[in-house]
Amino acid sequence: MNIIVLFGPPGSGKGTQAKILAEKYNLEHISTGDLFRYNIKNNTKLGQEAQTYINHGKLVPDELTTEMLIDELKRNSNKKGFILDGYPRTKSQAEALDELLDSIFQTQVDVTLALYVEDEILVKRILKRSEESGRSDDADESIIRNRIKEYYEKTAVVSNYYKEQHKLVELDGEGSIEDITAELSKEIEKFV
């Protein structure tokens, strides 16, 4: 089973790339954003809790995110592998993921592919996404900037966590979708 983590700030293109790559390599795409939206739309207990944090531009706490991810991984345990989009975001999530993958699937993360994009480009991309998709969590620039700030404050340590394991590959996320897909594919093909 292959486990690919796609890492990057909000608006870096990881969701777009994860969908393309999941189809290309026959992997299951798991987006924590989609998990949150599913749980919120269906008014689950986890969704109600997550909505409170999202409305204030804060990251959903590790335990809540991990609960949603565990449910999704178990539902798809027969798949060839996964591309994780938006998880892990903290060191404790990364550690929980390692434990979960080892205990349930006897596997580990193959590689973490990190997309880097300038902050102003991220803000423009997210505002445009809001116009196109109608996502209310993408419409307020101050919330967007807070999400980006929180991302950097809480996730920088995750980069170091995977770097120490020699599982981090940093890539420029500012090119065309096709160019970024080509660069990501080169890295994924080392494992699948």
Whichever domain contains 172, its CATH number is 3.40.50.300
User: Which are the contacts of 88, defined by CB distance < 8 A and separation ≥ 6?
Assistant: 5, 94, 96, 97, 158
CB of 180 within 8 A of CB of 171? yes
Whole domain around residue 123: which residue ranges?
A: 2-185
Given a cut of 80, whether residue 15 has pLDDT beyond it is yes
Number of structural domains found in the chain: 1
Q: Is residue 191 part of a domain?
A: no
Q: What is the pLDDT of residue 1?
A: 85
pLDDT class of 42 with cuts at 50, 70, 90: very high
Q: Is residue 6 part of a domain?
A: yes
Q: Is residue 190 part of a domain?
A: no
Mean pLDDT of 170-183: 95
Please report, rounded to a whole number, the percentage of residues in the chain having pLDDT higher than 70.
99
User: Which are the contacts of 21, defined by CB distance < 8 A and separation ≥ 6?
Assistant: 4, 6, 27, 29, 83, 181, 184, 185, 188
Distance CA 159, CA 89 (A): 9
Instruction: Report pTM.
Output: 0.83
Phi first, then psi: what are they for 12, rounded to 5°?
A: -80, -10
Q: Is residue 192 part of a domain?
A: no
Q: Is residue 82 part of a domain?
A: yes
Give residue 64's identity as a one-letter amino acid code: L
Question: What tokens appear for 69 in the block?
Answer: 């991810």
Tell me the average pLDDT of the chain. 90
pLDDT by residue (tens digit) across 104-151? 889 999 999 999 999 999 999 999 888 888 777 778 899 899 989 988
Q: What is the pLDDT of residue 75?
A: 83
Q: Quick one: residue 8, left, alpha or beta (phi over 0 = left, psi -120 to 50 = alpha)?
A: left
Distance CA 34, CA 21 (A): 17
